[in-house]
Each structure stands twice: as structure tokens, then as C-alpha cells.
Structure 1
Amino acid sequence: MRHTVDYFFAPQSPWAYLGHERFAALVRETGSAVRVMPMDLGKIFPLSGGLPLPKRAPQRQAYRLLELRRFSNALGIPLNPEPRFFPVAGDPAARLITAVAMHDGADAAMKLTGAVTTAVWAQERDIASMDMLATLLSECELEAARLAQSQQPDVQARYDEQTQAAIDASVFGAPSYVIEGELFWGQDRLDFVARKLRA
């Protein structure tokens, strides 16, 4: 049975970055389909009891940094827990990934997602900058026109639909993977995702 995964994430999420390449490899290995669905966490947090990072208790903020270092070391994935360009607006990159998914398909959108998340967490690059997004498109060998297209109403409408789909699926954090209605939250649940996709 060929599974389809709804892949919900925010491009500024360090956890999406830590899980992305492992998830991409798993999708390739199992021949699964993926729907690349960046979402607006700013709309999801108020509905799910989540808080933006600056509003979280100091203990939670400190533990987050500890866990980022732990996972970076354990996975052998380079990560700066406090990068130069963070917090950063994720919407421009999310819309660009959405535009690429619409015009070029899931594989291209997965490639760009990897580049965008790496830009934040390993390369000290500003993904809210239009110039940087143009550079990332070029590095991924994708059409430069996608940047202008990402600012069109049809892409915003799709982004809004993806956010609503996340809400409807009871998603409350990033990354989340939904397979046949079953929700898996967090890159540390990819072992369970693997079991599901290999079943």
C-alpha cells in the first residue's frame, strides 16, 4: 500500500529543520507520496494553547535550547540554537514553498524546504528577505518567477487552506505528519512515521 503523508510545518521551525532530511529519505525509501503543506503557526497556536517563543516561561525557553543542542549532537546535524536571524517571519518562505508545490510538485517543494530550513539554522541567512528567497530558488535550480507568484492571491488562498487543513487535523505544532488521519507530532516521532509507512 502506497501511503500519502500530509507534511505540516513552519519553515522557521528548528524542529522541522532537524527532521526534514530524515523525513525526505523515509518518503523516498518507502515510495510514499507527500503533500508539502507549510502552515501559519500564528493562527494555530491561539486555538491549541500554544505560545509564541518569546511568551513562553523562561524554564521552557531554556529547556528548548538544551534539547536543540542535544538533538543536533545526537543526529550529527549542524545547528545554531540561537541563529542571527531568529525570530524570523516565516510567511514569505511558506508562501514560496507553497507556490513551488503548486507549480513544480512535491519533490521541488521538499528540496526548497530543506534549503530554507537549513538557511535559518545552519547558515545564518534571513529567510524573510526577498533577495535571500530569490537566492535560495536559484540554488535549488527553480524558476525565479516563483517569487513573484508567491505573492499572488491564489498562493495566499492555498496557504490559508493548508493552515485550515492543519487545524482540522488537530495539528498544534511543527513538524506534524498526518497519515490517513493519524497525527504524528515532532521530528522525534519519525520512528513511528517509519513504522506506519513501512506497514
Structure 2
Amino acid sequence: MAHIDYYLATISPFTYLAGLELERIAQSHGATITYKPLDIMALFARTGGVAPKDRHPNRMGYRAQELQRAAKKAGVDMNQQPAHFPTNMAPSSYAIIAAQNAGGGDLGKLVHSVLAACWSGEKNVADEGVIKACLEGAGFGAALADTGLLAGAETYARNLEEAVEAGVFGAPFYVVDDGTLFWGHDKLTDLDLHLAGKL
């Protein structure tokens, strides 16, 4: 049975566009997933990337077009200039880590609801109330937003180190336990084919 390490950032528009497709693919192949939220800005700095605010206008212009196309293809609402972007990713990441450790809810739904809160809900995913609502909506206790902060911080930092070591440089990024890497929501079809032994 395959295992996938899913590196994600809770304010990444492309992670939002991935929706719940990874979870569908994993279920169809009997694969397991470990969710690894990380600080995408720190990852960029470590791996030669550039934060959006520092990118050339040409790149940002193309990014805007690509996001618009991808949102239409995915059939989701998306505000390309959300009210709370960028924002502190740590609180929502800690909550996801705590939820994964606790179990009992729908982790994929939690991750997607946090991303949707940012990119279509005009909400600040660093806000405790927003995080608690996402936890409850995915079947987790709201108290997870307040507990396990130390463990969350340690895991969050470790996820960054593990990402760099694994060859990760963006989000969403999928690392299969056979060492195969897939970067971007638009590579999920390739991941599906790989797990099926066709690619």
C-alpha cells in the first residue's frame, strides 16, 4: 500500500485549487496520507523560490491568468486578492497537526475548509474563531485550536526540514514513499496514474 506525504501551505492558492482530489485518489488506490503543513515563505527562501510580493510583474500577471483558468476548471469561487493574504500560517497549521494527531474527523475536509476560508470566504485563517469553525465543520473538537501548540510548533518546523530534504520546493507537493515527486494541483492526474502503475 502506497503512502503519500502531502506538503501544503494553508494560504497557498494552488493548494486550494487541489480541492479534495488527493483524498479521492488515495482512497481509490488504498493509499495513506500524512498531511505536512509548512511555512511556504520559508520554503521559498530555502529552495530558491521568491515570495509573490517580490516576483516580477510578468510572473504575477501570468499567475493571475493561471489562477483564473484553474478556478474555472475546478468549478470553485476564488478571490485572487483575498482580504487576508498573506497572513500567519502557523495557527491554522498547528490546528491541522493537532487534528491529525487526535484523529476522529475528516482531515482532508479540514485542510480544504481552511484554504476555502482564505480564498473564497474572505476570512483570516490566522483567526482563532475561523480555525475553530473549520475544525468543528470537519468533525474535530474546537479545543484543538488551543491545545498541542508546542507539539504543533515542533512538527511545523520539522515539516519544513523534511520538505527540503525530500526535494520539495513549493505547495501543494506530493511525495510518494517510493521517492516519486509531484508538484502542483495540476499533477494530481499524474499521481493517480503513477499509483495505478501506468506512469
* TM-score interval for Structure 1 and Structure 2 normalised by the shorter chain: over 0.9
**CA distance in 2 between partners of 1:21 and 1:140 (Å):** 13
TM-score normalised according to structure 2 size: 0.93
**CA distance in 2 between partners of 1:23 and 1:172 (Å):** 19
Deviation of the 1:42 alpha carbon: 2.5
Match of 2:193 among 185, 192, 195: 195
After TM superposition, what 4+ stretches of structure 1 lie above 3 angstroms from structure 2?
Answer: none
The match for 1:86 is: 85
TM-score normalised according to structure 1 size: 0.93
Match of 1:171 among 168, 174, 182: 168
Gaps of at least 5 residues in structure 1 are none
3-state SS of the aligned residue for 2:36?
Answer: strand
Aligned length: 196
Q: Is 2:139 the counterpart of 1:141? A: yes
Correspondence 1:1-199 to 2 at 5 A: 2-104=1-103, 108-151=106-149, 153-179=150-176, 180-199=178-197
**CA distance in 2 between partners of 1:66 and 1:57 (Å):** 15
Range moving further from structure 2, 75-84 or 185-194: 75-84
RMSD over aligned CA atoms reads 1.4
**CA distance in 2 between partners of 1:88 and 1:75 (Å):** 24
**CA distance in 2 between partners of 1:157 and 1:108 (Å):** 23
Gaps of at least 5 residues in structure 2 are none
**Percentage of identical aligned residues:** 30
Does the 8 Å CA contact 2:9/2:171 hold for their aligned counterparts?
A: yes
3-state SS of the aligned residue for 2:20?
Answer: helix
**CA distance in 2 between partners of 1:67 and 1:191 (Å):** 18
What is the letter of the counterpart of residue 82 of structure 2?
Answer: P
